[in-house]
Amino acid sequence: MFEEKKPKDAKCVQLYGSRIVLSNFQKKDLDATYISWLNDPEVVRYSNQRFSQHSLESCERYRRTFKGAGNHFLSVQRTDNQCKIGTVTAYINPYHRTAGLGILIGDKSVWGCGYGIDAWMTLVDWVEGVHSVRKITAGALSLNKPMIKILEKSGFHLEAVRRKQEVYRGVPEDIALYAKFV
């Protein structure tokens, strides 16, 4: 599904899906468009990011947490027009050999067009292949139907439900915890 380009720097990631490329989120990617995704109430409606106001400084602080930590913060870019449409994250625990993944397709104009599943599968394939990871996890509010669909289509199984864990628009809602054994 993806082809990993020969990196000069071992930490340089470039992963090709069908219609997207994932690459290290760099300082130059931290622009007004990226910040606007995080401050868009619709984009972050199912995430705890909705409780924070994001700025250049806060985003740069977040980006820096990935430096040298063995975790990955990658930009999602369309291959047809080079537009950046979102980000993915992979937190690797080398001791337990687990990985926790996340995704944000910030460009709402492409929601429902298949970029989310493409980016997700590309990330999952890579994490499975190169990190000696034995278990991959991800979670979502049960209300987040596209994300639940992505998890189920990419071979994750429902591991647990944290019942009425988070309040969404005044109503306590479930968090679904998914996992995939490699």
Contact positions toward ligand COA, by CB under 6 A? 43, 46-47, 86, 103-105, 111-117, 140, 144-147, 149-150, 153
CB of 68 to ligand COA, least distance (A): 26
- The minimum distance between CB 66 and ligand COA, in angstroms, equals 18
CB of 9 or CB of 84, closer to ligand COA: 84
Name the residue nearer to ligand COA (CB basis): 13 or 140: 140
Q: What CA–CA distances, in Å, run from 26 to 52, 74, 113, 152?
A: 22, 8, 25, 30
Closer to ligand COA by CB, 33 or 132: give it.
33
3-state secondary structure of 21: strand
Nearest distance, CB of residue 153 and ligand COA, angstroms: 6
The neighbour count for residue 18, using CB atoms within 10 Å, is 13
User: Judged by CB, which is closer to ligand COA: 11, or 157?
Assistant: 157
Instruction: State in angstroms the smallest separation of the CB of 139 from ligand COA.
Output: 6
Residue with the closest Cβ to ligand COA? 116
Give the N- to C-terminal CA distance of the chain in Å, as an integer: 17
Shortest Cβ 150–ligand COA spacing (Å)? 5
Measured N-to-C along each axis, helices 115-130 and 145-153 cross at an angle, to the nearest 10 degrees, of: 40
Nearer to ligand COA, 13 or 106 (CB): 106
* Alpha-carbon separation of residue 123 from 35, 53, 89, 91 (angstroms): 22, 28, 9, 12
Q: Which of 80, 56, 66 is nearest to 25 (CA)?
A: 66
